[in-house]
Amino acid sequence: MPVTFHVYNTLTKEKMPFEPMEAGVARVYNCGPTVYGRPHIGNYRSFLFADLLRRWLEYTGLEVRQVMNITDVGHLTDDDVADSGGDDKVEAQARREKKDPFEITRGYTAMFLQDMAALGVREPEARPKATEYIEEMVTMVEQLIASGHAYRVGGNVYFDVSTFPAYGRLSGNRVEDLVAGSRVEVNDEKRHPADFALWKSDPAHLMKWETPFGADGFPGWHIECSAMAKALLGDQIDIHTGGEDNVFPHHECEIAQSACANGVPLANVWMHAKFLQVDGGKMSKSIGNVYTLSDIEERGFEPRHLRFALLRGHYRTQINFTWPIMDEIRARLENLDEVAVMLHRILDGGPAAADAEAGRALLDSAIASFEGGMNDDLNAPVALAALESLRKPLLEGQVGAAVAADTLAFYGKANEVFGFIQVDKQTADAEIEALIEARNAAKAAKDWTAADAARNQLTAMGIELQDTPDGVVWRRR
């Protein structure tokens, strides 16, 4: 297993050692959500993969400059073909909800951020919104026109794919095949059917901006990410990620327009997470299995159970989501939590192996296996198995006090990467309930000072209280 981080690059179709352009710093751009609906568990997989990558880069000692955009300009229903035709998804949703499109994107952005926080996703350095970078997009489009890579037809601007011979390298889609397979809309105003829109003019469009291209209009989806990546991370970045559906046309088009505008390749490494399967197939509204975080919580699971479920498989392999799998996840996570409980017990003077160094070799091999797994293109299953292997020697009393201390330190560090295990010492439920009782008694006696003191103590212990008609409910934050 590799001792340095190796990544699979969709562009070259091979694993390669990861070497950032600037020593000690990784520049990473993640394609974010289009905010016209609440994200579902399939979307979360790609965002959690981005979070795992960032956390692993940090574990290896790099400073990570991470940007994940929010696409709050409605891109079009035909964006899965290269040239953006069809209806605007945000505006369509706005019509359904009888709201302003900007209200729609604001609302769903807030929902997305809440879900990300609940799932333990670390905040990137920036979350640019496409609507805030229109000027940068227009500048890039103007550059492409000036250099002959793009052309205007009325108020529309198209990228001329014939000017970029490497078009198709990422996805393997050759321009000739695209036309034959009609993955492009035949549109009379384009020079070549595979040309894609950089800017569309449409005075009837609700989300529109004034530009030098003629009538008011809006950017093509692809140019948004190229412009935001350039504005925040520079002409060239180390890693660009997305879901497998982003490979074509989105990333193919980003590569072409950025290279032509900037004169250097946009990203050295392209990484893509596979789709999540639900109930063994594609999730669908008609089956009713397009689940969101609320559905997960309504079934009695915590967000960290979902985080585990979505990170447990290698990001480039197919993983499946079912409710019975969630039950297994819960049990596996309990076992991982238990490792921390057993380690704390030893450190608090509980029974341990007589030899303080007992279990050292097992710990060393678990660390090697964890790091080797993650270094091998984020092979999470191998890394998780390494963490799970720590449980048996603890159950069998084979771990000495010195090794327990080192194991706990490693376990905490490993959980900085995965983020779903309870590693900190947990306060016993009985202690929490006694404090709640004391607070209730103080409230009944109108002793507000004592009631507040009890509540503050609980807050300091990481316990959140909620007063409900059935009494006080508590949970760990």
Known binding positions for ATP: 285
CB 108, min distance to Zn ion, A: 17
**Closest to 186 measured CA to CA, from 66, 253, 178:** 178
Of 29-37, 79-87, 203-211, 335-343, the window that binds Zn ion (rule: CB under 5 A) is 29-37
Residues paired with residue 472 on neighbouring β-strands, in sequence order = 467
Number of H helices, E strands in the chain: 16, 15
Cβ–Cβ under 8 Å, residues 110 and 54: no
Distance of CA 120 to the CA centre of its chain: 10
Say how far apart CA 438 and CA 422 lie, in whole Å: 27
The SS3 of residue 310 is helix
CB 220, min distance to Zn ion, A: 11
- Strand bridging mode 63-68 / 25-30: parallel
Of 31-39, 53-61, 197-205, 307-315, the window that binds Zn ion (rule: CB under 5 A) is 31-39
The residue (of 232 and 463) whose beta carbon lies closer to Zn ion is 232
The residue (of 31 and 145) whose beta carbon lies closer to Zn ion is 31
Cβ–Cβ under 8 Å, residues 207 and 201: no
Of 50-58, 220-228, 346-354, 442-450, the window that binds Zn ion (rule: CB under 5 A) is 220-228
**90, containing H or E segment:** helix 89-97
The residue (of 225 and 346) whose beta carbon lies closer to Zn ion is 225
CB 230, min distance to Zn ion, A: 13
Cβ–Cβ under 8 Å, residues 370 and 414: yes
Is residue 225 part of the contact set for Zn ion (CB under 5 A)?
yes
Is residue 247 part of the contact set for Zn ion (CB under 5 A)?
no
Residues 256-295: x where in contact with Zn ion by CB under 5 A, - otherwise, as a string: ----------------------------------------
The residue (of 62 and 225) whose beta carbon lies closer to Zn ion is 225
CA distances from 55 to 113, 183, 331 (A): 18, 37, 25
Rg for the chain (alpha carbons), in Å?
A: 26
As annotated, the binding site includes: 31, 225, 250, 254, 285
* Orientation angle between helical segments 303-311 and 323-347, nearest 10 degrees: 100
CB 269, min distance to Zn ion, A: 15
Of 112-120, 154-162, 225-233, 357-365, the window that binds Zn ion (rule: CB under 5 A) is 225-233
Q: Which amino acid is at 130?
A: A
Give the tokens for residue 137.
Answer: 């997009």
Is residue 442 part of the contact set for Zn ion (CB under 5 A)?
no
Contacts of 341 (CB under 8 A, 6+ apart): 426
Of 35-43, 217-225, 295-303, 408-416, the window that binds Zn ion (rule: CB under 5 A) is 217-225
The residue (of 152 and 169) whose beta carbon lies closer to Zn ion is 169
CB 50, min distance to Zn ion, A: 12
CB 468, min distance to Zn ion, A: 42
Q: Total number of residues binding Zn ion (CB under 5 A)?
A: 2
**Closest to 394 measured CA to CA, from 383, 386, 384, 404:** 404
The SS3 of residue 468 is strand
The residue (of 113 and 356) whose beta carbon lies closer to Zn ion is 113
Give the tokens for residue 433.
Answer: 């309930």
Say how far apart CA 32 and CA 43 lie, in whole Å: 9
As annotated, the binding site for Zn(2+) includes: 31, 225, 250, 254
**Closest to 241 measured CA to CA, from 8, 12, 28:** 28
CB 324, min distance to Zn ion, A: 35
The residue (of 9 and 34) whose beta carbon lies closer to Zn ion is 34
83: exposed, middle or buried (Cβ count in 10 Å: 0-12, 13-18, 19+)? buried
CB 266, min distance to Zn ion, A: 11
Chosen residue from 31, 81, 293, 463 binding Zn ion by CB under 5 A: 31
CB 250, min distance to Zn ion, A: 6
Is residue 35 part of the contact set for Zn ion (CB under 5 A)?
no
The residue (of 75 and 439) whose beta carbon lies closer to Zn ion is 75
Give the tokens for residue 204.
Answer: 């009837």
The residue (of 31 and 384) whose beta carbon lies closer to Zn ion is 31
Contacts to Zn ion by CB under 5 A = 31, 225
